[in-house]
Amino acid sequence: MPVDRSPRGAAPDRGALIETELEILFAVSRVLSRSLNLPETFAEVLDLLHDQGAYTHGFIVLKDDGGEEFSLRAAHRDVGGVSGPVRYKPGEGVIGAVVASGETVLLPRIADEPNFLHRLKVFDRELPFIAAPIPGEGAEIVGVIAAQPPAERALLGERSRFMEMVANLISQTVRLNRRVLAEQQEIKEERDSLRRRVRGQHGFDTIVGHTPVMRQVFEQVRLVSKWNTTVLIRGESGTGKELIANAIHYNSPRASSPFVKLNCAALPENLLESEMFGHEKGAFTGAQSQRKGRFELADGGTLFLDEIGEISGLFQSKLLRVLQEGEFERVGGTETIKVDVRVIAATNRDLEGAVADNTFREDLYYRLNVMPIRTPPLRERAEDVPDLARFLVEKISRAQRRDLTIDDDAIRILVRHRWPGNVRELENSLERAAIMSETGIIDERAVILAGLQDRMISSPGIDAPPPPSLGRPGPATPPPVDLDDPDVSERERVIAALERAGWVQAKAARLLNMTPRQIAYRIQTLGIDVKQF
């Protein structure tokens, strides 16, 4: 009901005023609780004050972020269009006085106040004016709400207290908005930090290698990362296929979008379809709610399908449709869902042989094999073993939270190992060796205790290429071991003598000035696997 609209001089109804103000306060609290969009909620609050309380020319100013001035953030439509920014400094005019003192200012008549600035140029100089501070944390003033109440002056004190109540309600919303914005900024900074860390963890620097085959892989990854081309990563288990997939995604334009992974060999066919495409509620026993599949989760990003060669023939046809059309239906659903997903697949299987045996669809093979990348086994890049070993030791050091190093004697053993498990086996072996090392130095003894002597390559040129140098990129063939060099370990000296002697122990013993019995004892205690011819 209208409030204080009677002609000047008529006695106002205080009870009716209080009732109306309570209704307005309730409506204001509901508006402020609906949204943290301050311009929208402030506009609604000023509308309520105007329409239900007859408060005209209402406006709200808030403190600028990181500054001392207060800027106009909302004004009722009866103020009209404001040209240019409107700002107030503490102590400047009536609004500045409210900010400086933290007290409400009540002017019975604007024309009587010489400090009124009239910056909005719309106020009725004959009407009262009320400006109430919007409190912040502690003694801080974060803003001011002001308006012109009706002309009657008998209840201006009540109207002034009412404006203070509205200001307090607005204060809660402003403080909550500040906290939300601060948390959002913190989350954004943390997100950006995590993105930088992830890109650093999955960039080219984490893929160790300087051999020609690895340089070729790096070049392929660098070029294919720019495009949305489907990639098929081929290679034995433990050669780092997932690292290559990570590097492609996090160096691509999709790096800020989801990177979703799925091991196709880890799930039976009936679960694989649900996992990849999702399912509707009630699609099968146990489907108690709708669930998005990996393709939906990866929309706009990249989907990595590991062990793609293990999927069944029936599922191959379903996957082919998604790759070709970019659309699918959830299990138990009829709605066609379109997605924008880049697919990176990986396998250690001979897909060409599977195509020839009719166990893998030829059309799916060609759809996946758009850009093949082969990850070489460790035996083809033996020169990378020293750098890989040092890189992995640093990684293990961080995981075990202690200082770890590896010496050259241990690396000499590593470069002569067969490594059927490739880099994964190398990492596991180094972790075992680190456990065996009490001093933090992975030496020859720790490596032998880790069991690596069981698969030593005893004769270079037969089972593997010659062992590389122990330093950084350099010549592939190391100089022959000097049997009289005091810095060469006893195990290395014995192996070198055996190699020169064609693995005839009696000849090797003469090279070392030992008896055959002595060298046989050394071979046994040092864990040397003697090559038989």
Does the pLDDT of residue 80 top 90, yes or no? no
- pLDDT bin (cut points 50, 70, 90) of residue 198 is low
Closest CA to 134 of 126, 146, 125, 123: 146
pLDDT score for 61:
92
Is 269 in the same domain as 405? no
Is 156 in the same domain as 173? yes
- Which two three-digit tokens encode residue 181? 């914005």
pLDDT score for 294:
93
The Cα–Cα gap between 69 and 95 comes to 11
Mean pLDDT, rounded, for 257-267: 90
**290 within a domain of the structure (yes/no):** yes
Q: Which residues contact 381 (CB under 8 A, 6 or more apart)?
A: 209, 211, 213, 214
Does the pLDDT of residue 453 top 90, yes or no? no
pLDDT score for 11:
46
Is 18 in the same domain as 109? yes
Is 342 in the same domain as 409? no
- Which two three-digit tokens encode residue 191? 């997100």
- Which two three-digit tokens encode residue 480? 């022959």
Is the separation of the CB atoms in 426 and 414 below 8 Å? yes
Number of domain units in the chain: 4
Backbone angles phi, psi at 52, to 5 degrees: -100, -20
Mean pLDDT, rounded, for 186-195: 78
Looking at the chain, the whole-number percentage of residues with pLDDT higher than 90 is 40
**4 within a domain of the structure (yes/no):** no
Does the pLDDT of residue 4 top 50, yes or no? no
Task: Say which range, 160-164, 184-188, 222-226, 439-443, has the weakest mean pLDDT.
Answer: 184-188
- Which two three-digit tokens encode residue 481? 């071991």
Is 223 in the same domain as 369? yes
The Cα–Cα gap between 13 and 245 comes to 76
| CA dihedral for 293, 295, 300, 304, sign (positive or negative) | positive
DSSP 37-69: -HHHHHHHHHHHHHHHH--EEEEEEEEPTTSS-
Closest CA to 414 of 482, 464, 474: 464
Is 269 in the same domain as 343? yes
Does the pLDDT of residue 204 top 90, yes or no? no
User: From start to end of 256-310, where are the E strands?
Assistant: 259-263, 278-279, 291-292, 302-306
| Measured CA distances, 114 to 42, 72, 144, 271 (Å) | 29, 22, 20, 79
**106 within a domain of the structure (yes/no):** yes
The Cα–Cα gap between 267 and 271 comes to 6
The Cα–Cα gap between 344 and 234 comes to 11
Task: Say which range, 204-218, 248-262, 460-474, 478-492, has the weakest mean pLDDT.
Answer: 460-474
CATH code at 398? 1.10.8.60
- pLDDT bin (cut points 50, 70, 90) of residue 419 is confident
The Cα–Cα gap between 57 and 36 comes to 23
**7 within a domain of the structure (yes/no):** no
pLDDT in tens, 433-450: 999 888 899 988 888 888
CATH code at 40? 3.30.450.40
Is 238 in the same domain as 369? yes
Does the pLDDT of residue 223 top 60, yes or no? yes
- Which two three-digit tokens encode residue 204? 């080219």
Among 461, 479, 497, give the residue marking a domain's end: 479
| Measured CA distances, 375 to 46, 237, 311, 384, 423 (Å) | 66, 10, 21, 13, 11
Range of 108's domain? 14-180
pLDDT in tens, 468-522: 444 444 434 445 677 777 767 788 888 888 888 878 888 888 888 888 888 887 8
| Measured CA distances, 257 to 252, 321, 452 (Å) | 10, 23, 42
pLDDT score for 454:
46
Does the pLDDT of residue 463 top 60, yes or no? no
- Within a 10 A sphere around the Cβ of 439, how many other Cβ atoms? 10
Is 410 in the same domain as 491? no
CATH code at 505? 1.10.10.60
**198 within a domain of the structure (yes/no):** no
Mean pLDDT, rounded, for 387-406: 92
**325 within a domain of the structure (yes/no):** yes
pLDDT in tens, 40-76: 899 999 999 999 989 999 999 999 887 889 999 889 9
Mean pLDDT, rounded, for 373-393: 92
pLDDT in tens, 87-128: 899 999 999 999 999 999 999 999 999 989 888 888 989 999
Is 176 in the same domain as 271? no
Is 340 in the same domain as 413? no
Is 21 in the same domain as 167? yes
Among 435, 460, 479, give the residue marking a domain's end: 479
| CA dihedral for 262, 268, 273, 277, sign (positive or negative) | negative
**216 within a domain of the structure (yes/no):** yes
Instruction: Kindly report the average pLDDT of the chain as a whole number.
Output: 84
**39 within a domain of the structure (yes/no):** yes
- pLDDT bin (cut points 50, 70, 90) of residue 1 is very low
pLDDT in tens, 266-322: 888 778 888 899 888 877 777 678 889 899 999 999 999 999 999 988 889 989 999
Is 233 in the same domain as 316? yes
Mean pLDDT, rounded, for 18-24: 89
Residue 407 parent element (H or E):
none
- pLDDT bin (cut points 50, 70, 90) of residue 323 is very high
| Measured CA distances, 200 to 9, 228, 245, 481, 493 (Å) | 76, 21, 14, 39, 41
What's 84's DSSP letter?
S
